[in-house]
Structure 1
Amino acid sequence: MPCSLPTRRLLGALALLPAATFGAACGQALGSQTSSAPTAALSAPAPTQAASTPTASPNVPVQQALYSPAASGAPGTLTSLAPLVDAVKGAVVNVEVTQKPRRVSNMQGLPPGMAERFGLPPGMGFEGQTPARQGAGSGFVIDASGIVLTNNHVVEDADVVRVKLDDGRAFDAEVLGRDPLTDVALIRLKGAPDKLPSVPLGDSDALRVGDAVMAIGNPFGLASSVSAGILSARARDIHAGPYDDFLQTDAAINPGNSGGPLFNMKGEVVGMNTAIIGGATGIGFAVPSNLIRTLLPQLQETGAVRRGWLGLSIQDLTPDIAKALGVQATKGAVVAGVSRGGPGARGGLREEDVITAVDGKPVDTAGALTRAVAMLRPDSKVKLDLLRGGKPTTVDVTLGTRPAMQGEEEVQPRNGTSAQRQRIGVQLADTENGPQVMAVEPGSPADKGGLVPGMILVQVGDAKVSNATEAVQAFSSAKPGAALLLRVRAPNSDTALLRAVEVPQR
């Protein structure tokens, strides 16, 4: 039976495959016609309760000398990684997910030409449901109470998450938070004891190219598989997202490794294994642990990540542009445009400014500026060093909230619309067209009433709604047990439709 989830990312002509496996039989070699699920990953931040040293095997010293120096003074030889594996493998878990059938529809009808191809009337729409799917990935415990880090793509859209420990115990899990842009997710085991083996997050910035690293995960369903290698490169941009800053390793990473840890020789997690290049060997990518550390507080507090935003169009400073602008700098980000009324405009930034540092930390490229600002929370005040007309100056800016881009998945915080999702079974987000349905809980009143992602709510009961907050208030004020009439618009259409949702008892 072929894998059911296709590859999600492409890097030029090279296919980036996720390290999670989906479907019943995903044991084929990479690059075969049956697609293995793509991978994406992040390193995880150290939670406040995380153990400072690995606890999987307390009696095994982790920081022992794994290299024995040669008598001649030449570099040492690797003796064994067994003590390190014994110390940390108890904290590495298998993550199994199940997705129930989903209602799907195309209210606008099939694309031009496709209806005729299948002998259907032009513009005919369709409704149906997707088949149930199963998948598997990896993860690691960062807090002894049962807090686990894994990839977003492993658990997104999952209805059931089941985590298996190295010792054979298994627990259901709930998703605490997700960040699609960095492919990190935080989950919590239900009913787990308070003394689970856990591993700490290390300092990914301390890694040097050539340092030894070790990966443990669930490749092709082979639990607790260990591979080792070196750090091959740093700061790789593989065009998977706007915040790419991957570690590259030649340690074997395969489908099923997604969300698993990349360890240094001290037993610290320095990366989360996330992506591989299809058809290649010895090329795997992991999100640095320091990047995830900045995300953890928001994932724990609200379940979603809100990023700082300057409201600028920027590009790299090139020698030709530097010469044209009359600046001596060779690195930085050039402001090509300023959003009217945005944070940058309010702070006094101008076109042709060359930003060289954020809060004293140098930024060499436009990508580095984007990442630096995104790691800060909205409403943060930052000091930007820049060159204007060739002269250095500083500008203080209060950051705004980065808006979701077209086609980008938006994860709602655990407040506002999420409370209504628990009751009606629908997640809403504000768009320029109005409150839009982003997700529908299978089997919920919203699902039974025919709501599908993409629909725009126009009216809830007697109340016309223009944003998600108004829609939530209308749902909340409805009488329990009542049949609530909704007026909606189909995705990308002005056609009005009526739907009825039964309001559940409180």
Structure 2
Amino acid sequence: MSSPLTSRRAARGVLFPLMMVAAACGQAVGSPASTSAPPAMRNAPVAAPVIPSVTVPTPGSLAPLVESVKGAVVNVEVQAREPMAAQGRLRLPPGWAEQFGLPDRPQGGEQGPVQQGLGSGFLIDAKGLVLTNNHVVENAERVRVKLDDGRAFEAQVLGRDPLTDVAVLQLEHAPDNLPHVALGDSDAMRVGDFVLAIGNPFGLTSSVSSGIVSARARDIHAGPYDEFLQTDAAINPGNSGGPLFNLQGEVIGMNTAIVRQATGIGFAVPSNLIHSLLPRLEKDGAVRRGWLGLAAQDLTPDLARALGLKVDKGAIVADLNANGPGARAGLKDDDVITQVEGTAIESAGGLTRAVGLLRPDSKVAVHVLREGKPLELAVTLGTRPAQKGESEVPSRDEEGAPAKGRLGMRLADDPQGQGVRVVQVEPGSPADRAELPPGTLLRQVGDQKVATSQEAAAALRAAKPGSMLLLRIQPPGSDVTLLRALPVPS
């Protein structure tokens, strides 16, 4: 069974056949009906008021808009290494494989050869900060960004968020006067507003297409934070990560996904969501999300009636984690959450999105209805743990850099409180040579027992260059404690 939806990915190592198709293009504009009567009828009685038709204004040529923004749209070239089983097929966002009964992306196994990938992106400042899709640069070993004027720069991946498919790059050795565009207000876009897409579909650089906003806040089941803009502007493989502009030249979305075997149905990550994530991606390299520790569902009219409530919108608490943030703050089963930190909650999905945009450890006001009576609770949010099929969010060391560096591994606190886990290992790195696969629990570094990723990172940084560091570990899926020798580069 195949999914009707597919992410906007360029299949690495696959040649796409290109078919040129002639298509009619135009704007359907109705002529206004005349409200003037012929001379002979001017004094005749009118049986009913005449409702004038609405004249839809049409934009002139889009060429000036294209010329003003296309210099900021870039081509993202990626060299990435993936497990052998993943080669040559389009990959699905987290959660789609399970939902549609498809084989999920491999999580490990033999590493295949380097794959070539192409995508799009756009500059958002003069010093070389680029936005693109996470799936464009995921597993990248090398990223090269080519500008519209032919200049090319190596790029570093500053941060990635797989759950919203957003990534931030920084061009290396770039001048500080690069063309760039601004993020606009996606919430201001209405269904029917004109939009413009620019990208590199099938490697055809700087291709332009136009259309309208077809729908807002689409949930396509790609992840828990879906709130896509839908557009009929043509987007294809290679457009991934490219901008969707309004007629003022502001980016109101990032083109991300299409519907397979359909025409004119594409989806873009809203600019307001990107804007809220950007500071954390730049600073931390990842997004740590707030967590209430509960399961919720939509409050329906039937459920409201069964609970004796006079409202029919909100998120009803169906189950609580026994020691989660919500339970500790006094939330109970059957509470109906109507507001979180000033944001109205109308559904379970709205609750997930609202809490996910808040930082862990922050204290927030949660408004609930309990047995029909309003109640406000102060909840200190936890950190959302990784769900099935997701990677752990890497921890940061005291200086704000990932705890991988010279040793080639990322660490994170285990969400079940079991200690420190190795969540990513670079092929060929000292951690790889020391046989520390992802999922390994670190129990001791040198002569220091470690319980948190911060303790482990500090102990690793303190190791003498050129030494051999003894580790006490627990392999993934095992209760046995083993020793490993980690070579510390000089």
Q: 1:271 to 1:395 in 2, by over 3 A?
A: same
Q: Residue 160 of structure 1 aligns to which amino acid in structure 2?
A: R
Q: In structure 1, what is the equivalent of residue 257 of structure 2?
A: 275
For residues 494 and 153 of structure 1, the distance between their equivalents in structure 2, rounded to whole angstroms, comes to 35
Task: Please name the residue that 1:235 is paired with.
Answer: 217
Instruction: Go from structure 1 to structure 2 and tell me whether the alpha carbon gap of 1:24 and 1:385 turns closer, same or farther (over 3 Å shift).
Output: same
CA 1:312 to 1:22, structure 2 compared with 1: closer, same or farther past 3 Å? same
Larger radius of gyration: 2
- Equivalent residue, structure 1, for 2:169: 187
Q: Conserved in 1, the CA contact under 8 Å of 2:74 and 2:148?
A: yes
Deviation at 1:74, TM superposition (A): 2.7
1:451 equivalenced with 2:433 (yes/no): no
Q: Does 1:84 align with 2:84?
A: no
Counterpart CA distance in 2 for 1:330 and 1:80 is: 47
Partner of 1:391: 373
Match of 2:5 among 7, 16, 24: 16
Cα distance in 1 for residues equivalent to 2:481 and 2:236: 47
**Quick one: which of 302, 316, 319 aligns to 2:298?**
316
Distance (whole Å) between structure 2 residues aligned to residue 128 and residue 383 of structure 1: 48
- 1:357 paired to 2:357: no
User: Displacement of 1:67 after TM fit?
Assistant: 12
1:441 aligns with 2:423: no
Cα-to-partner distance string for 1:87-113 (whole Å, 9 max, x where unaligned): 100000011111257899xxxxxxxxx
Aligned to 2:150: 168
Supply the RMSD in Å over aligned alpha carbons: 2.8
> Residue 36 of structure 1 aligns with which residue?
none
Offset at residue 308 of structure 1 (A): 1.8
Contact residue 67 and residue 79 of structure 1 kept, 8 A: no
- Give the match for residue 487 of structure 2: 502
The change in CA–CA distance for 1:388 and 1:323 in structure 2 (over 3 A counts) is same
Q: Which residue of 1 aligns with 2:188?
A: 206
Structure 1 segment 11-410 matched on structure 2, within 5 A: 13-28=2-17, 74-100=55-81, 128-410=110-392
Query: Is residue 395–residue 411 contact of structure 2 (8 Å, CA) maintained in 1?
Result: no
Q: Secondary structure at the match of 1:451?
A: coil
CA distance, structure 2, for counterparts of residue 83 and residue 69 of structure 1: 26
Whether the 8 Å contact between 1:252 and 1:282 is mirrored in structure 2 is yes
Distance, in Å, in 2 between the alignment partners of 1:374 and 1:364 is: 15
Query: C-alpha distance in 2, partners of 1:393/1:457?
Result: 43
Please state how far the C-alpha of 1:29 moved relative to its aligned partner.
7.1
Going from structure 1 to structure 2, the CA distance change for 1:400 and 1:485 (only over 3 Å counts) comes to: closer
SS at 1:21 equivalent = coil
Give, in whole Å, the separation in 2 of the partners of 1:265 and 1:212: 7
Q: Contact between 1:276 and 1:285, CA under 8 Å: does it hold in 2?
A: yes
Question: What residue is the counterpart of 2:43 in the other structure?
Answer: none
Q: Which residue of 1 aligns with 2:476?
A: 491
Cα contact 2:395–2:453 (8 A) shared by 1: no
Equivalent in the alignment of 1:429: 412
Structure-2 separation of matches of 1:453 and 1:383:
37
Partner amino acid, structure 2, of 1:90: G
Which structure ranks higher in relative contact order (CA pairs < 8 Å, sequence separation ≥ 6)?
1
What CA distance in whole angstroms lies between the structure 2 residues aligned with 1:406 and 1:357?
Answer: 28
Cα distance in 2 for partners of 1:485, 1:359 equals 47
Q: 1:14, CA displacement in angstroms?
A: 3.0
What amino acid does structure 2 have at the position aligned with 1:18?
S
Q: Secondary structure at the match of 2:124?
A: strand
SS at match of 2:113: coil
- Paired position in structure 2 for 1:61: none
C-alpha distance in 2, partners of 1:449/1:136?
A: 34
d(CA) in 1 for partners of 2:326 and 2:10? Answer: 43
Separation in 2 of the partners of 1:78 and 1:480? 64
Cα deviations by residue, 1:266-296 (Å, 9 ceiling, x for unpaired): 1110001111111111111111111111111
Amino acid at match of 1:16: L
Output the amino acid matched with 1:424.
Answer: L
Contact 1:247 1:285 in 2 (8 A): yes
Of residues 225-234 and 409-418 in structure 1, the stretch that sits farther from structure 2 once superposed is: 409-418
- Aligned equivalents of 2:282, 2:110: Cα separation in 1: 36
CA distance in 2, matches of 1:99, 1:229: 33
- Equivalenced residue count is 438
Deviations 1:346-385 (A, max 9, x none): 3322221111222343211111111111112223333233
Amino acid at match of 1:502: P
TM-score, scaled to structure 2: 0.82
Distance 1:477 1:17, change over 3 A: same
Deviates more, 1:228-237 or 1:417-426: 417-426
**What SS does the aligned partner of 1:130 have?**
strand
Code of the aligned partner of 1:425: G
Distance 1:398 1:233, change over 3 A: same
Shift of 1:131: 1.5
What is the DSSP-based 3-state SS (H/G/I as helix, E as strand, rest coil) of the residue aligned with 1:23? coil
Give me the whole-angstrom Cα distance separating, in 1, the residues matched to 2:283 and 2:403: 18
Query: Hey, what's the Cα distance between the residues in 1 that align with 2:139 and 2:449?
Result: 30
2:404 alignment partner, SS class: helix
Q: Secondary structure at the match of 1:320?
A: helix
Once the two structures are aligned, what percentage of the paired residues are identical? 61
The 8 Å contact of residues 19 and 219 in structure 1, kept in 2 or not, is answered as no
